[in-house]
Structure 1
């Protein structure tokens, strides 16, 4: 079976916060495959990298290319620290996500997504994508607009139902004001809350030329959702990434009543198996994800009618990964030696989805480290809006202080075992917050549960090695 050259055969997954950063995406894209940057919390990532002094000058170069120079200069003046902040000095916070318009937050989000995609696209003509979580609705319009300003080729979106994203892309490609619905717990049926972005507030009186509309790939875990999205033009994506439960990061919960195995992990059954034939019948390209980096994974996907595969963990452990280098090497050594448990924890994520936690000593996976961490929610990307008794919208997160969460009319049981993914994932890329009392945020690490591919890769490998491995393993299995 010949490869379809219309679309990439391999998609590098958009992982964590900054793990799939611009360096990794660019390395994959230069091979001709789809390199993907994570679009999650890029406002924090940009602000903290600037406060580190922008070593190498990459962000200065990206901001110099930003089409709205006055915005770029405001961000530079606000966050850049020549030579970097002192050891132990806390990072300056960024405005938290919310429903109320905030020009500084919007500018930072747009510019951060522009910068990450710009740097990923620099110096080659390979395709570049950006990955978002539908669950983080409050950031989506501004984030997507920034990526589109940089010429992003693909938008990938999971952890929810991205039914309004095709319309968002259409509007933003013409620089029109655009908005999406926001889920507000307790809101009356029929009352719509929205968040949006008005490009004119950034570009001023002279409208720029139209933008390229990127292709949208919806990340799904069921053929039912794929059929639902494909049935109407206004909700139809340009393709699907079909993700299995062993993939890293968040995964869909099992259908039906939640049952756990003896290790406390969700049990998946026949109802959770995806009918790839039904997805193929939709006539849209699709890629299989989750445990696809092993031998003959790509060949099996192609035989099932897929265009290719999405692979995350293999790229997360390569040299160009955005993981802090010491953590990356510890993860790689433990995974290669077969001593790295990766648990699908049903209660770790404040988002309510099962989340893969790599159990590396000294990280938030360690019960002692988790217990010693002061509970706080100062980044808030996974906060959920809810309607307060006075009719105003508030925000809550089950990883925030227990008494604070309970005051917001939620049971204490919701908070048990919840990890602060925001702080933990940012710490994993070397940007963890340092508190005034000297406390440093520990890392939280996520990988997929299928690590068998490591036996077929060099000891300390590159992104190009992963691509070569995947394409080589498909040879002989395509007939």
Structure 2
């Protein structure tokens, strides 16, 4: 087992910066927040594609190359540059080169890209300060998670935060990876007989291959699953295959994916899910679990921060305010457009029950000019594909946001495709890494928490920075005490 101790309450952060989108919570934002004594968090979702697209754009500022120079296997760092780096950057009308889509078993070379990318993002977030850095991942994006975790751990990640699922096996995986041992996760395959269990395995020794692996044990990061109910938190604390160190307790007002309402899905007059009394978390019972927790969703105000502390939380996780600050990864022109629309009262957040291929409600900003609501259906990244066992015993991978004919040919119901959006491509476009297509550049798909009013408050006099978010939250809490 890892020798890492559970951190004392005194060392735990009061503010956790949310792990938003694909590259919105980038290394710059995490670095800024961690430098100020809180927990900066990088998004690990689709980080392999993020890294190779930055390299194909010429690596502006040389940041990816600077991090790769510290990668523990120089030959693999050289391989990344040889395969993906374009010194002058790709031509503006040239599409990005794609990585092979993840499957249950992929090549050693494909895994190396993911490990290197997670290392790069974490290393850059940790550069130049002594603060801790975390990484956020989605449980439902199963296939890349193990190599992503290992790459982040090679760079010294301090905390792993995971939502959109029930990550009971992640603590044990962290234990194994910290000792460079193979780690496995149960692999969800629709239509598989109940007595047949499939798994995803990552062996660090395959990564090192011909190179000498390190003899030292890696830091075993703290693990904070994202929950929306005390019952799930209790289950994870009691039945996970390793140590759970705390929880992020998320309300339906948080951005990105939300847990579905308990009970039958009902929609209001605007078509949004209705959340009720059963969806309210009992924080007294959360305290009884004896583990620290942070409240997310609706807490990104001075009063919300103070209330979270009064309810026994260690602090808050804040996403929306950080998402629109200057250090976030949002493409600058897009960020300005959204903030201007927010300040003018034109933008609003819609909790879309259909947009995400995962089936989870997903928040989308409406009312911003030039944000396309439709695109030609293309599935060329595949991170949200689901594995399905066909009648012939073969496993196919499908996504309800892919072309409808392709989805139906794989045994899917065309009705499942209604209203679905390609999050993989849309969220990459948010950070300036959208694919170039014959019909035009990939349109962005911006997500946000419900609290746009706080963005308007901070942006009232122009752009703002991560330090402004923290000062506003902390100053307000001090004023209420």
Shared fold (TM-score greater than 0.5)? yes
Give the one of 359, 377, 380 matched to 1:378: 380
Distance 1:68 1:95 in 2: 22
Distance 2:123 2:414 in 1: 44
The answer on whether the counterparts of 1:350 and 1:398 sit within 8 Å (CA) in structure 2 is yes
Distance 2:161 2:359 in 1: 20
Give the one of 260, 271, 283 matched to 2:278: 271
Secondary structure (helix, strand or coil) at the match of 1:231 reads: helix
Secondary structure (helix, strand or coil) at the match of 1:57 reads: helix
Structure 2 counterpart of 1:415: 417
Structure 2 counterpart of 1:194: 199
The answer on whether the counterparts of 1:97 and 1:380 sit within 8 Å (CA) in structure 2 is yes
The answer on whether the counterparts of 2:272 and 2:353 sit within 8 Å (CA) in structure 1 is yes
Secondary structure (helix, strand or coil) at the match of 1:386 reads: strand
Give the one of 458, 465, 470 matched to 1:467: 470
Structure 2 counterpart of 1:175: 180
The answer on whether the counterparts of 2:19 and 2:319 sit within 8 Å (CA) in structure 1 is yes
The answer on whether the counterparts of 1:96 and 1:105 sit within 8 Å (CA) in structure 2 is no
Give the one of 126, 132, 151 matched to 2:131: 126
TM-score normalized with structure 1 length: 0.96
Q: CA deviation at 1:234?
A: 2.3
The answer on whether the counterparts of 1:151 and 1:211 sit within 8 Å (CA) in structure 2 is yes
Structure 1 counterpart of 2:248: 241
The one-character-per-residue Cα deviations of 1:335-382 (angstroms, maximum 9, x if unpaired) are 122210110000000011000001123224x3xxx0xx2111000000
Secondary structure (helix, strand or coil) at the match of 1:65 reads: coil
Q: How many residues align?
A: 469
The answer on whether the counterparts of 1:131 and 1:155 sit within 8 Å (CA) in structure 2 is yes
Distance 1:347 1:337 in 2: 28
The answer on whether the counterparts of 2:104 and 2:200 sit within 8 Å (CA) in structure 1 is yes
Q: For structure 2, which runs of at least 5 residues remain unmatched after alignment?
A: 1-7
Q: CA deviation at 1:334?
A: 1.1
Structure 2 counterpart of 1:261: 268
Give the one of 165, 175, 195 matched to 1:160: 165
Structure 2 counterpart of 1:392: 394
The answer on whether the counterparts of 1:68 and 1:202 sit within 8 Å (CA) in structure 2 is no
Q: CA deviation at 1:293?
A: 1.2
Q: CA deviation at 1:70?
A: 1.2
Q: CA deviation at 1:73?
A: 1.1
Q: CA deviation at 1:233?
A: 6.0
Q: CA deviation at 1:206?
A: 2.6
Distance 2:229 2:362 in 1: 18
Q: CA deviation at 1:138?
A: 0.6
Q: CA deviation at 1:120?
A: 0.2
Residues 306 and 220 of structure 1: CA distance in aligned 2, closer, same or farther (over 3 Å): same
The answer on whether the counterparts of 1:348 and 1:355 sit within 8 Å (CA) in structure 2 is yes
Structure 2 counterpart of 1:361: 369
Distance 1:412 1:177 in 2: 39
The answer on whether the counterparts of 1:25 and 1:128 sit within 8 Å (CA) in structure 2 is yes
Q: For 1:69-80, what aligned pairs fall within 5 Å after superposition?
A: 69-80=74-85
Secondary structure (helix, strand or coil) at the match of 1:395 reads: strand
Answer yes or no: is 1:55 the counterpart of 2:72. no
TM-score normalized with structure 2 length: 0.95
Secondary structure (helix, strand or coil) at the match of 1:242 reads: strand
The one-character-per-residue Cα deviations of 1:176-224 (angstroms, maximum 9, x if unpaired) are 1111111110011031111121111222453301100000000011111
Distance 1:106 1:168 in 2: 16
Give the one of 93, 102, 110 matched to 1:105: 110
Structure 2 counterpart of 1:294: 301
Distance 1:99 1:24 in 2: 32
Q: CA deviation at 1:60?
A: 0.6
Q: For structure 1, which runs of at least 5 residues remain unmatched after alignment?
A: none
Structure 2 counterpart of 1:227: 234
Structure 2 counterpart of 1:327: 334
Distance 1:235 1:229 in 2: 10
The answer on whether the counterparts of 1:229 and 1:235 sit within 8 Å (CA) in structure 2 is no
Q: CA deviation at 1:438?
A: 5.0
Q: CA deviation at 1:4?
A: 5.2
Distance 2:471 2:175 in 1: 36
The one-character-per-residue Cα deviations of 1:27-60 (angstroms, maximum 9, x if unpaired) are 1011000000000001100010000011111111
Distance 1:248 1:344 in 2: 9
The answer on whether the counterparts of 1:163 and 1:236 sit within 8 Å (CA) in structure 2 is no
The answer on whether the counterparts of 1:18 and 1:429 sit within 8 Å (CA) in structure 2 is yes
Distance 1:341 1:457 in 2: 17
The answer on whether the counterparts of 2:175 and 2:242 sit within 8 Å (CA) in structure 1 is no
Distance 2:131 2:194 in 1: 45
The answer on whether the counterparts of 1:113 and 1:146 sit within 8 Å (CA) in structure 2 is yes
Please give the root-mean-square deviation of Cα atoms over the aligned residues, in Å.
1.3
Distance 1:53 1:452 in 2: 37
The answer on whether the counterparts of 1:71 and 1:202 sit within 8 Å (CA) in structure 2 is no
Answer yes or no: is 1:207 the counterpart of 2:213. yes
- Runs of 4 or more, structure 1, over 6 Å off, are none
